[in-house]
Amino acid sequence: MDIKDTHILNQDIIQSAPLVEPARQEFFMDRCHDLIEEMIITDGHRPTFHVETFGCQMNAHDSEKLIGILSRIGFEEVDTEKEADFIIFNTCTVRENANQKLYGHLGSLKKRKESNKNMLIGICGCMMQQQSVVDYIKSSYSFVDLIFGTFNFYKLAELLFYKLTETDKKTVVEVLDVPETHVENLPEKRKYSFKSGVNIMYGCNNFCTYCIVPYVRGRERSRTPEDILSEVNRLVDDGCVEIMLLGQNVNSYGINFLDESDIIKENPDYDFPDLLNDVAKIEGLKRIRFMTSHPKDLSDKLLDVIAENPKIARHIHLPVQAGSSRILKAMNRRYTKEDYLALVDKIRAKLPDVSLTTDIMVGFPGETEEDIEDTLDVIRYAKYDQAFTFIYSIRSGTPAAKMEQLPPEVVDKNFERVLEEVRKVSAEASSRFEGQVKNVLVESVNDHMDGYVTGRMDNNILVHFPGEPELVGTFIDVKLDEAKGFYYLGHSL
Ligand code: 5AD
Ligand code: SF4
């Protein structure tokens, strides 16, 4: 990637770029494409890239857009970091160990970067929204080429253009405090041809006292129903049969719309259940999932819409975080243990075959033996099919970081107890469908069992059964012969 004497040209080109999005990014994607074509002539091969994604579904979906942009520019995607000329780390910072993982990767890349003038390294995502992290990377890993945040990832082509045409070796850094603009219709390259995530909103307003997300992803912004429905329509035309509506708290959809919307003008009370209803009307779409639901905002209307609509998956991810009302208050969750259990009852009454999953945190400041008993109690009562358990991780800048922290030995012991209860309950809960026939979406060929494929039921549970690779992407009825804890073995009918 030898680009010489382009400094002057670079300035001319930048000044001629359109000022308004998305035309500006189209322009830079074209300019980068020209540069890549030049490189192919000089270097004799098409440069490759790999995006390494950490964290949640939101990041995974953002990465599909980064991959879309790089593919459009002319890079070739490869499966591993090792084969890539350009590596992008899309980072997570919800827990400290995610930060440590990134530093580990960067440390191991230093030598390779020094010996390979063609190599590029970019870092983006939630971790980059923290000034201290950016400063640390700039001083300790100065070989990093690009740093950008969550609000401007759509600008990848523009930032890459600066880097490729820059004659000095500085890291190109652009991290914004708040979004400048919102860009629809970015290119994206989906991991699966038959299913996709669709963002319905960005950011979070809840400020749970342990959580860094509202600081790194900003305040809640909702996409208009028009934009969401047209994206889903496009995905369905392109072969998607399942979509997952994504937001930090989908139940509060409707805050701060990003664009003008006739639908909202006509119905200012339009909410998440209305959106689900409208999405479900799209012909050709077979299954709809959504994530995540804050318990304080889950409405009766939502349960009614799910109950009336067989396309909407019988699965609710309902993070409880802790069982004790005292700890929930300190976490600013705005529900009590009793509220949560009553909600579980209501959900099970309206959706008898629902699968409930959750997130649980252990070790929040001030948590006592009694509080842990409350958490165990909720786990037993809610009978989760699956629960993601986390050890509380101190995030600087959050209110909980200033509270008195617990000794790690106590937390580790409690964590084991919670994990054990989760294992027991979910193995039992998720075996309750043994002997039944369920419709599954076949997602992949099974890598571990010859001649088997793996499908997912509408309640999110996996089933492995003998089948041909051609079944991938189709729905099929499967008899669940044997419950294996977190999955089933079965056969197709
Ligand atoms: N420490 C540990 N886990 C956390 N989560 C959010 N913040 C923290 C933290 N500081 C967990 C919550 C959330 C999930 C996505 O990550 O359980 O639901
Ligand atoms: Fe974090 Fe709470 Fe928002 Fe979830 S709802 S992203 S835990 S602040």
Cα(83) to ligand 1 centroid in Å equals: 33
Pocket (CB within 6 angstroms of ligand 1):
94-95, 210-211, 319, 321, 359, 361, 390, 392-393, 395
Position in ligand 1 atom list of the atom nearest CA 292? 18
68 CB near ligand 2 (under 6 Å): no
Q: Is the CB of 208 under 6 A from ligand 2?
A: yes
Q: What is the pLDDT of residue 424?
A: 93
User: For position 119, what pLDDT does the model report?
Assistant: 93
pLDDT given for residue 9 in this prediction: 62
Q: Which ligand sits nearest to residue 360's alpha carbon?
A: 1
Q: Please report the atom of ligand 2 found closest to the CA of residue 249.
A: 5
Query: How confident is the model at residue 2, as a pLDDT?
Result: 42
Q: For a pocket test of ligand 1, which of 56, 210, 332 has the largest count of ligand atoms closer than 8 A to its C-beta?
A: 210
Residue nearest to atom 18 of ligand 1 (CA): 359
Q: What's the gap in Å between 213 CA and the centre of ligand 1?
A: 9
Tens-digit pLDDT profile for the chain (493 aa)?
Answer: 444 444 556 778 888 889 899 999 999 999 999 999 999 998 899 999 999 999 998 999 999 999 999 999 999 999 999 999 999 999 999 999 888 899 999 999 999 998 888 899 999 999 999 999 999 999 999 999 999 999 999 999 999 999 998 867 788 899 998 888 888 888 999 999 999 999 999 999 999 999 999 999 999 999 999 999 999 999 999 999 999 999 999 999 999 999 999 999 999 999 999 999 999 999 999 999 999 999 999 999 999 999 999 999 999 999 999 999 999 999 999 999 999 999 999 999 999 989 999 999 999 999 999 999 999 999 999 999 999 999 999 999 999 999 999 999 999 999 999 999 999 998 888 888 999 999 999 999 999 999 999 999 988 889 999 999 999 999 999 999 999 877 999 999 9
Q: Return the pLDDT at 7.
A: 52
Give the distance (Å) from ligand 2 centre to CA of residue 341: 20
Q: Which ligand 2 atom is the nearest neighbour of the CA of 204?
A: 3
For the Cβ of 321 lying below 6 angstroms from any atom of ligand 2, the answer is no
**Which ligand sits nearest to residue 389's alpha carbon?**
1
Q: Across the strands, what pairs with 445?
A: 453
How much is the pLDDT for 123? 97
Q: What is the pLDDT of residue 3?
A: 41
Ligand nearest to the CA of 293: 2
**pLDDT score recorded for residue 240:** 96
pTM of this structure: 0.93
pLDDT of the residue at 413? 97
pLDDT at 430: 80
Q: Of the residues 246, 361, 362, 403, which should be mutated to test ligand 1's pocket, given the most ligand atoms within 8 Å of the CB?
A: 361
Q: Please tell me the predicted confidence (pLDDT) of residue 431.
A: 86
Report the nearest-CA residue for atom 5 of ligand 2.
Answer: 206
Rounded to the nearest angstrom, the distance between the alpha carbon of 214 and the centre of ligand 2 is 7
The per-residue pLDDT for 179 is 87
pLDDT at residue number 227: 96
**Which of 56, 209, 390, 403 maximizes ligand 1 atoms within 8 Å of its Cβ, making it the mutation to test the pocket?**
390
The pLDDT assigned to 180 comes to: 84
Q: Which residues pair with 355 in a beta bridge?
A: 315
Residue with CA nearest ligand 2 atom 4: 248
Distance 491 CA to ligand 1 centre (A): 37
Residue nearest to atom 16 of ligand 1 (CA): 94
Ligand number nearest to the C-alpha of 390: 1
- Ligand 2, atom nearest to 205 Cα: 3
Ligand 2 neighbourhood includes 294 CB (under 6 angstroms): yes
For residue 56, how far is its CA from the centre of ligand 1 (angstroms)?
11
pLDDT at residue 459 in the model: 83
